Amino acid sequence: MHIHVAHPHGEAKFWLQPSLALANHTGLSKQELAYAERVVARHLEEIIDAWHEHFGG
């Protein structure tokens, strides 16, 4: 299970399970990546619930 995070400077892909991890990225600075990861971590349970609602399972 993964999500994509879009930003004007680039994008990132994060694996959500078994634990939150950066899969890859393009164009984002270390600071932008760190911020994106903090936001995803803060909302991880909500994101996983929405993923299941959207994709099923």
Alpha carbons 39 and 57: distance in angstroms, whole number:
24
pTM, to two decimals: 0.90
What does the pLDDT read at residue 52?
A: 95
Q: What is the pLDDT along the chain (57 residues), one digit of tens a residue?
A: 999 999 999 999 999 999 999 999 999 999 999 999 999 999 999 999 999 999 986
Size (the chain), residues: 57
Cis-peptide, bond into residue 8, ω within 30° of zero? no
